[in-house]
Amino acid sequence: MLKYAVNELAELAHQLTISPLHLRLDQLNGIEKMLELAAPDNSYPYDLVCFHITGYRSRSNPPRPSVAGKKLIGDLVLMAEHISRKANIPRAALANTHKTQEELASQLSVSTKTIRRWRSRGLMGIRVVFEDGVSRQVFLEATIKRFCTQNEDLVRRGAAFKQLSEEEKLSIVEGARTLLSSRRMKLHEVARQVAENMGRAVETVRYTLRRFDVAHPDQALFANGGMPLVSERHLGIWKCFQAGESAQQIARALDCDTDGVEQIIREMEIRMLKEQRLTYVYSEEFAVPNADQLILGPEPVASEPAKPVRVPKDLPAYLRSLYDIPLLFTELERHLFRAYNYVKFRAATLLEAADEVEVTVEELAMIKRLLAESDGLKQRIIQSNLRLVVSIAKRHINGRANNFFEVVSDGNMSLMRAVENFDYSRGNKFSTYASWAVIKNYARTIPEDHYRYARYVTGQDELLEAAADHRAAPESEIADSGINELLVASMDSLTDRERTIVTEHFGLFGRKTGLTLEQLGQHFGVTKERVRQIEKRAIEKIRQALSPSAADLLTD
């Protein structure tokens, strides 16, 4: 697909392709005349360009914007090939002398690749159909004369250029390898220095290095983006650093410069950080000029003192310690989530802009500080909601105490993912969102655990049986989250059969989990697949009745 730099010229080219064919040669001559007038550093009114090509004086109201000369030249060359290809002009229709691409390359003593590269400078070619029925590109004599006159120095340098010998190509590769052994550099910087040393064009050196990497992947110097490849030596330095050795110790062991080792360590660190693919919930607040003061300012203070929490007796130490961490009130919860996502946004922005090879000590330190700050905010939110996970886990354990901590740990993982995905700007409470995340996870994992235990577990661990009554008492977290109210409201739209299937399968409202789709099918006298279809339809109804945050959790 042709890519024009200027939309107006793309539209004009399309109009020309559907104009009468007998006008095509006149339009091509008009393009050639415009190329003769155009200079890269000037700009030209669109109406003037249209007039020279079509002979029609446009009266655009309002006038269309002017076109930059450099973009105009490239688009005019593209337009000439475009409209000539569509017209299927026979070669015999050309009155002027013309040359094929190979003939022109021979006449000017350059390669066909150079001829193709000169198209962006204004060397206009047109497509004509030869006697054998094949469409080929040709260059009119008037076009060749005009281009050589406008680009005399360029044509002379092209003719003076000689092809690289195998020895010169080898010298370029070795020169690049020597530069990379002393300092990590990108392809364009290496090509520039090698070109200066050898008296060659930068593009020639870059092309030679690229061709070498393709032909010798086991000895390649650069990756696809022009970044220097990570060698075994760099991996060795990184492993030593991860093992606790300092840059000075590594430099002494390898008998090399400490600055070079530190640069390699910074490059490897930034590469590893970029592989993490940081995600965050974006807000327009992040783009305001005083975002740091607005978002990272003092934390809000509760309007009322926190109510004392009654800690159940005889709980294991882990569960008892959770009651030492206060719950987050609404304003503080929003503040922490906004700060958490903003800090990750800043870290991700700096990380994306950081140059792996040229990253500075200050840039890397700032990124690592922001990531540590985001981790701290995340841990604070998680710790304040751990009681919520325990409360939900107690209702899904079904008296099976031996895997209670395993169920809590599984719920904690769901809580961590919920913190990363929660959109605080919607105004919903996080406990509602997190509760659905944990319940949804348990709906998948616990039935599988029940099946496994039914087959392989022969005894019951009574470790937490004595705490059953204690665990049932503190349900303030669930009440605060509004889960029960949400479920009741969302199920009003379900039929009796749909409500029974969802309730029994997922163990809602205090019912035991463990009824499989097959068991439910036997109860209703239908197949397991039919029960699955009914459940899917019911979940869709529930999703429509829920708030946006809760509905998101029903999507896998």
**Interhelix angle 430-456/483-490, nearest 10 degrees:** 80
Q: Give the bridge partners for 139, in sequence order.
A: 99
Length of the chain: 556
Closest by alpha carbon to 440, among 552, 515, 524, 274?
Answer: 552
Position 490 scores a pLDDT of 65
How do beta strands 98-100 and 135-140 pair?
antiparallel
What 3 state SS string does 243-292 have? CCCCHHHHHHHHCCCHHHHHHHHHHHHHHHHHCCCCCCCCCHHHHCCCHH
Position 162 scores a pLDDT of 64
Position 453 scores a pLDDT of 45
Q: Say if residues 184 and 231 touch (Cβ distance below 8 Å).
A: no
Cα 67 from Cα 70, distance rounded (Å): 9
Position 511 scores a pLDDT of 57
Supply 509's token pair: 């409202």
Backbone angles phi, psi at 129, to 5 degrees: -95, 120
pLDDT along the chain (556 residues), means of 10: 83 88 88 90 89 79 83 92 90 84 88 85 91 90 91 83 80 90 86 88 86 88 85 86 91 87 89 87 90 91 79 70 85 94 95 88 94 94 90 72 74 92 90 89 68 42 35 39 56 78 73 69 79 84 61 46
Cα 470 from Cα 314, distance rounded (Å): 8
Position 337 scores a pLDDT of 95
CATH entry, 317-474, from 2.60.260.20, 1.20.120.1810, 2.60.40.420, 1.20.58.1610:
1.20.120.1810
Asked if CATH classification 3.40.50.970 holds for the domain at 482-552, the reply, yes or no, is no
CB-count burial class (<10 Å; 0-12, 13-18, 19+) for 217 = exposed
Q: Say if residues 91 and 128 touch (Cβ distance below 8 Å).
A: yes
Closest by alpha carbon to 206, among 222, 217, 184, 229?
Answer: 222
Position 349 scores a pLDDT of 93
Closest by alpha carbon to 415, among 379, 373, 448?
Answer: 379
Position 390 scores a pLDDT of 85
How do beta strands 89-90 and 126-129 pair?
parallel
User: How many secondary structure helices (H) and strands (E) does the chain include?
Assistant: 28, 6
Position 545 scores a pLDDT of 64
Position 487 scores a pLDDT of 64
Backbone angles phi, psi at 110, to 5 degrees: -130, 175
Contacts of 346 (CB under 8 A, 6+ apart): 370
Question: How remote is the C-alpha of 383 from its chain's centroid?
Answer: 30
Supply 269's token pair: 């660190």
Q: Say if residues 31 and 80 touch (Cβ distance below 8 Å).
A: yes
Buried b (16+ CB within 10 A) or exposed e, 80-113: bbbbbbbbebeeeebeeebbbeeebbeebebeee
Per-domain boundaries in the chain: 7-160, 166-219, 232-274, 317-474, 482-552
